[in-house]
Amino acid sequence: MDTSDAISEFLTTRRAKLTPSQVGLPDFGGRRRVPGLRREEVALVAGMSAEYYKRLERGNATGVSEAVIDGVSRALQLDEAEHAHLYDLIRTANTGAHPQQRPRNPRKTQLTPGMRQTIDAMSTVPVYLQNGRLDAVATNRLGAALFSEMLDNARPPANAARFIFLEPRAQTFYREWEAQTRQIVAVLRTEAGRSPYDRQLTDLVGELSTRSDLFRKLWAAHDVREHRTGLKLVHHPVVGDLNLTFQAMDLASDRGLQMIVFSAEPGSATHERLQLLGNVAETSHTEGDQVAIEG
């Protein structure tokens, strides 16, 4: 992925989302050749020269300081995830000219025995572990049952982005499928900023861009997002509709992996259906199924 292009396109798309009034500038009217703020307006709000900002938006990030990043972030009203993404892009641009300095970002595909034991012990809630590419690395038994539509018979490694864009049944499984597509792409775009030399991620993006017009459109929007907490609305083929709260945590002991734990409000229909799914999983899944996910 070309970092200079990524910086240019990210800043351009953020600039296009704002109007002068939103950043406290007067709008003198007249026809604007492009939507949103002009480069000169961003520079003014950020407290830098127009030429300096133009150079940055062209992808030339050599020597850009954190203070400059903070100024541009304030001017473009970037949220926390967008600010971190811009920082990652500029950091990469300042090391990318020296291949020997490029950080290695291997994405793990297996767990330590201690973490495997921990997620297996969490038997009353679905647990799902993924890496930055959204590969399914491991689940507990209830997690495997919850995401059986994605995991069963998937080409290894099973991947959430590949499932949601390339498998028609994903549109039934995710009750808010369109919102899920935007979230998945935003999470992948964030990971691309963190791990620009991940060849498997580049290959995944290339595959999805080739096979899905929707993915290609959403990828071009350069939206980024952190995957931390929220509500997941799914339709499970065995137990029906589930409204699940999720919490996502980065693992300190297994760097590069994220553990997502799903739960339901006690006494709710979803809680009862989750218990039913657990009973089904207890009788239909074997330990061999669990190990196969990590393969």
pLDDT tens for 10-69 read 999 999 999 999 999 887 666 677 778 999 999 999 999 999 999 999 999 998 999 999
Determine the pLDDT at residue 256.
83
Rounded Cα–Cα distance for residues 161 and 292 (Å):
20
Residues 239 and 141 in one domain: yes
pLDDT at 111: 78
Same domain, 10 and 76: yes
One domain for residues 35 and 117: no
Q: Lowest mean pLDDT of 81-95, 105-119, 209-223, name the range.
A: 105-119
- Give the mean pLDDT of 218-227: 93
**Residue 207 domain-assigned?**
yes
Please report whether residue 107 resides in a domain. Answer: no
Q: How many domains does the chain have?
A: 2
Residue 164's domain spans which residues?
113-294
Give the mean model confidence (pLDDT) for residues 157-184: 97
- For residues 147 and 261, state if they share a domain: yes
Query: What does the pLDDT look like over 185-201, one tens digit per residue?
Result: 999 999 999 998 899 99
What local confidence, expressed as pLDDT, does residue 33 receive? 74
Quick one: average pLDDT of 181-185? 97
* Higher-pLDDT residue of 196, 159: 159
Q: In this structure, is residue 40 part of a structural domain?
A: yes
Among 101, 125, 149, the domain boundary falls at 101
Q: 75 and 142 in one domain?
A: no
Residue 258 lies in a domain: yes
Residue 174 has pLDDT above 60, yes or no: yes
Per-residue pLDDT of 127-141, as tens digits, reads 999 999 999 999 999
pLDDT at 60: 93
pLDDT above 60 (res 272): yes
Same domain, 23 and 123: no
How far is the first Cα of the chain from the last one, in angstroms, to the nearest whole number? 28
Nearest-CA neighbor of 243 among 270, 217, 221? Answer: 270
Structural contact between residues 237 and 149, judged by C-beta atoms closer than 8 angstroms: yes
- Cα-to-chain-centroid distance, residue 200: 15
Angle between helices 66-75 and 50-57 (to 10 degrees): 90
The model's confidence at residue 285, banded by pLDDT at 50, 70 and 90, is: low
Last residue of a domain, one of 72, 101, 130: 101
- Quote the mean pLDDT of the chain: 89
Residues 145 and 262 both lie in one domain: yes
Which contacts qualify for 111-119: CB closer than 8 Å, 24 or more apart? 111/137, 111/138, 111/254, 111/257, 111/294, 112/253, 112/254, 114/253, 115/251, 115/253, 115/254, 116/294, 119/143, 119/259
| 134 and 208, same domain (yes or no) | yes
38, 153: one domain? no
Can you give the pTM of this predicted structure?
0.87
Position 218 in a domain: yes
Do 77 and 20 sit in the same domain of this protein? yes
DSSP class of residue 267 equals T
pLDDT above 70 covers a percentage of the chain that reads 89
Instruction: Report percent pLDDT > 90 for the chain.
Output: 74
DSSP structure class, residue 240:
E
Asked if pLDDT for residue 78 goes beyond 50, the answer is yes
pLDDT band of residue 97 (cuts 50, 70, 90) is very low
Nearest to 163 by CA among 204, 107, 106: 204
* 140 and 231 fall within a common domain: yes
